[in-house]
Structure 1
Amino acid sequence: MIDLGKKNVLGILVNALNYEAAVSKIIAAANAGKPLSVSALAVHGVMTGVLDSTHRYRLNHIDLVLPDGQPVRWALNLLYNTGLPDRVCGPNAMLEICERAAEEGLSIYLYGSHASVLEALSRNLCQLYPKLIIAGTQPSKFRHVSPEEKKEIALQIRNSGAAITFVGLGCPRQEVWAYEYRDEISMPLIAVGAAYDFHAGNLAKSPEILSKIGLEWLFRLMKEPRRLWQRYVLLNPLYIWLFLLQAFKLKEFDPKDATPPVEEVLYG
């Protein structure tokens, strides 16, 4: 098990840990009924915080930030000699968490996406893990919600009896959601993004060889060029440039240089 705590990557605090440590922390919090906000950040996720000081504050107050994406793992290894053997990919972590939850009788809740995706996702997860208990599902409203609606959403999740909630709203909305709902829902809230579509069978996963050499982004860009071109064509080179500035100590990235949110965003 590898768990070296949080490390500063371009001003974003990322946990230097492996799958075993990440899953163990989440399952322990679920068993104890303790709040735990979790997100898996690849380059795009990190850059949302780099470019927005308010979102940087949110990300740096998420309890567990998994190093999703090989460039994030490489940054941890090169900057801090962490020796991480692999990234902690959100979709893969979701499966490992579901497997442990099924073994320990911990029920899960699926929040976000469309009803059709949640139906396929639930069916596929239960086929993989017959003992898995899905306490409830709730599709996204795809809009901002009122404070009263937020309380209703939180109450529905709490009353379901779930021990773990997965959140699939896309980056950065799901990280905002995990940050804002953390204290309303006393359980792990895990932002997993594209994992819903992967495991529902709606989105093809990158070949393993491309993932290992850090080119999963290229596979996804080829699949969804219109939606993703700005994310990868613009943000990836900027990430590399800023990483080099940090690595050669030409620029400091202070995680405390962030702006606390004035009010909640309240995504639903």
Structure 2
Amino acid sequence: MRDPSAIPRYDVLGIPIAATSIPEIYAALLQWSRDQTGRFIAVREVASLMACRDDPDLRALHQRAALVIPDGMPLVWLGQKQGHKVARCAGPDLFDYVCRHSAQSGLRHYFFGGNEGVAATLAELCQARYPSIQIAGWECPPFRPMTATERSQTIARITQSGADIVWVGMSSPKQDVWMRDHVDALPQTLIGIGAAFDFHAGRVRRAPRWMQRSGLEWLLRLISEPRRLWRRYLILAPRFVWLVLLSGLKIYAKDDNAK
């Protein structure tokens, strides 16, 4: 197995994306479960990458991540165009793969996030869906900043649960900030998978496979939640395309001048 620190990265608008795959991430999680070092994995697609790119604090956060993995197909295509062997690592798919294989590996899971009751529903469904899975705990944090006491109690609960992985189901970049701010106090690997909680708990319908493979999963989400997601997909996504094209033109011009 390749050392997780040796997984190559490629730059997408200043964000270091890991050229990896879901099986390789699972292997890294197994290796990391043998120590007591806190780490976090950021899961990026186009809209969240743009939000992070526009904020210096959020952009810097990615330098601390153990891995920044490509959720959106455009990020995968950009990596492949640069010659990397990279596959889509969507949050819901990563969650399913790791949970399915955990019966054999013994990885223990903690679910943190979601609307009221979602984490509990997710734990119940996972227990039925993945025989022998070890769920160490779950909780839904308040939709407001935690007090110092609440934060200390949360850290204590997660630490004492004995979990190997903490799945963080908040919106992005809220979940990324939470992971950054808590990773040094926790001995687990934290993974921000956002809407995957709702998908696997049966609260939100996911796009069919053909839409996922062709990079059109965003379209169903936009149709399903237009008031909440219109800016993400109708403003941030086109800006991403423009900036990538502009970046490519600059590289081309630089190479051309060097000849």
SS of the aligned residue for 1:17 comes to coil
C-alpha distance in 2 between matches for 1:248 and 1:101? 45
Partner of 1:26: 29
Indicate how the Cα distance of structure 1 residues 174 and 90 shifts in structure 2: closer, same or farther if over 3 A, else same: same
Q: Which has the larger radius of gyration?
A: 2
Please report the TM-score for the alignment, with normalisation by the length of structure 2: 0.91
Assess if the C-alpha contact under 8 Å between 2:10 and 2:16 holds in 1.
Answer: yes
Alpha-carbon distance between aligned partners in 1 of 2:100 and 2:30, rounded to the nearest angstrom: 11
**In structure 2, what residue type is equivalent to 1:156?**
R
Q: Report the alpha carbon displacement of residue 163 of structure 1 after superposing the two structures with TM.
A: 1.5
Deviation of 1:126 after TM superposition, in Å, equals 1.1
AA partner of residue 16 (structure 1): A
Amino acid in structure 2 at the alignment position of 1:183: D
Aligned-pair distance for 1:232? 0.4
TM-score (norm 1): 0.88
Shift of 1:77: 1.6
- Between Structure 1 and Structure 2, the one with more helix by share is 2
Could you say which structure has the greater relative contact order, defined with CA pairs below 8 angstroms and 6 or more residues apart? 1
Segments of structure 2 that go 5 or more residues without pairing to the other structure are 253-259
Q: Is the 8 A contact 1:22 1:66 kept in 2?
A: no
> Is 1:213 aligned with 2:187?
no
Structure 1 letter corresponding to 2:171: G
SS at match of 2:206: coil
Given that 1:140 and 1:169 are in contact with CA atoms closer than 8 Å, whether structure 2 keeps it comes out as: no
Q: Please state if 1:136 is matched with 2:137.
A: yes
- Return the alpha-carbon distance in structure 2 between the equivalents of residues 63 and 107 of structure 1: 19
1:1-268 maps to which residues of 2 (within 5 A)? 4-78=7-81, 80-84=82-86, 86-249=87-250
Give the conservation status (yes or no) of the 8 Å contact 1:108–1:164: yes
CA shift digits 1:106-157 (9 cap, x unpaired) = 2211101134211221121111211011111110211112333222211110
CA RMSD of superposed structures (Å): 1.7
**How far off is 1:4 after superposition?**
4.1
Q: Which residue of 2 aligns with 1:263?
A: none
